[in-house]
Amino acid sequence: MAEVGLNAPQNARILAVANQKGGVGKTTTTINLATALAAVGKRVLVLDLDPQGNASTGLGVDQSEREINAYHVMIGEASLDAATLDTQVPGLSVVSSGVDLSGAEIELIEVENRLFRLKSALIGFADRYDYIFIDCPPALGLLTVNALNAAHAVLVPLQCEFFALEGLSHLVRTIERIKTSYNPGLEIQGIVLTMFDARNNLSDAVASDVREFFGAIVYDTVIPRNVRVSEAPSYGKPVLLYDVGCAGSQAYIHLASEVLKREKIVSNLNNGKNR
Ligand SMILES: Nc1ncnc2c1ncn2[C@@H]1O[C@H](COP(=O)(O)OP(=O)(O)OP(=O)(O)O)[C@@H](O)[C@H]1O
Ligand SMILES: [Mg+2]
């Protein structure tokens, strides 16, 4: 059986980074995982599906470069190809977002196939990449549903704080519903604990609750709360470029290798199935 090597023709794995709770580290995780995978030679795309446009800003995309963005793709006015920009990270591209995207939810209400706009746009395009990360907005509306319908798997950042688990069960139910109704192959790639504060007992308590409840699906790697991580976006840089030695960067490098390990298991399983 042929190994799925670095340069072997292979369809992209599409990972939606989602959690309807705001400010849990979706964008930070998207940017830095994508950067870490590009750094090991993967062809990676970040698709910014959040009208806030934080992933675009964090990757250094100027407002003036966003004339063609995810909004135009979603409403069918532009192809993903036309919306794709290079970033300062070799091997990493981005489809930016714009505030118009918040209107797309309403504009698409009457449109046929509105839950699969993104999936359709990715056909024939996705195979240029090894990994496509979709940075979702903090809601379970039409944009996130489009991401979940287009994705192979979901990566869930979870901030170590009191209400974390409550929101998570809602997200898991939504993923199950999408799986049953629209996207049977959808799985949770993993749950990553973010902004962990070792000095805070609550962080510890939440982390062990989450591990007890969700077991091995929670990544071993925990992302610490680290000021360098929060500074990096204001320089338009992934923290891996801003300060590769800081604890946050090192954690994202570890997380990337865990993600790749899980991906390898999936790919081996699929190859086994295809034999
Ligand atoms: N490990 C970390 N250490 C310190 N600050 C962090 C860390 N991760 C994220 N932050 C900061 O926390 C804030 C929220 O993070 P981020 O934007 O990634 O969350 P989000 O889930 O994408 O938010 P939204 O739901 O608004 O899209 C940002 O200001 C970010 O810089
Ligand atoms: Mg975000």
Write phi, then psi, for 236 (nearest 5 degrees). Answer: 65, 30
Kindly state whether residue 137 falls inside one of the protein's structural domains. Answer: yes
Kindly state whether residue 146 falls inside one of the protein's structural domains. Answer: yes
Nearest to 157 by CA among 10, 19, 64, 35: 19
Task: Tell me the torsion sign for CA atoms 21, 23, 27, 28.
Answer: negative
- The answer to whether residue 1 scores a pLDDT higher than 50 is no
Q: How far is the CA of 46 from the centre of ligand 1 (A)?
A: 16
Q: In this structure, which residue's CA is closest to atom 30 in ligand 1?
A: 230
Q: What is the mean pLDDT of residues 253-266?
A: 92
- CATH at 51: 3.40.50.300
- The answer to whether residue 6 scores a pLDDT higher than 50 is no
Q: How far is the CA of 110 from the centre of ligand 1 (A)?
A: 34
Whole-number pLDDT of residue 165: 82
Percent of the chain with pLDDT over 90: 80
Kindly state whether residue 7 falls inside one of the protein's structural domains. Answer: no
- The answer to whether residue 160 scores a pLDDT higher than 90 is no
- The answer to whether residue 144 scores a pLDDT higher than 80 is yes
* pLDDT, tens digit (0-9, with 9 covering 90-100), for 77-134: 999 999 999 999 999 999 999 899 999 988 998 888 999 999 999 999 999 999 999 9
Q: How many domains does the chain have?
A: 1
Kindly state whether residue 6 falls inside one of the protein's structural domains. Answer: no
Task: For tokens 């580290």, name the residue.
Answer: 25
Residues lining ion ligand 2 (Cβ < 5 A) are 26-27, 54
Residue to mutate (ligand 1; options 28, 144, 191, 254; most atoms within 8 A of CB): 28
* pLDDT, tens digit (0-9, with 9 covering 90-100), for 162-181: 788 888 888 999 999 999 99
- Cα separation of 258 and 16, whole Å? 16
Whole-number pLDDT of residue 169: 87
Kindly state whether residue 205 falls inside one of the protein's structural domains. Answer: yes
Kindly state whether residue 2 falls inside one of the protein's structural domains. Answer: no
pTM of the model: 0.94
- The answer to whether residue 238 scores a pLDDT higher than 50 is yes
The pair of three-digit structure tokens given for residue 246, joined into one six-digit string? 């800081």
- The answer to whether residue 3 scores a pLDDT higher than 50 is no
Kindly state whether residue 130 falls inside one of the protein's structural domains. Answer: yes
Split at pLDDT 50, 70, 90, the class of 231 is very high
Domain that holds residue 42: 13-274
Kindly state whether residue 5 falls inside one of the protein's structural domains. Answer: no
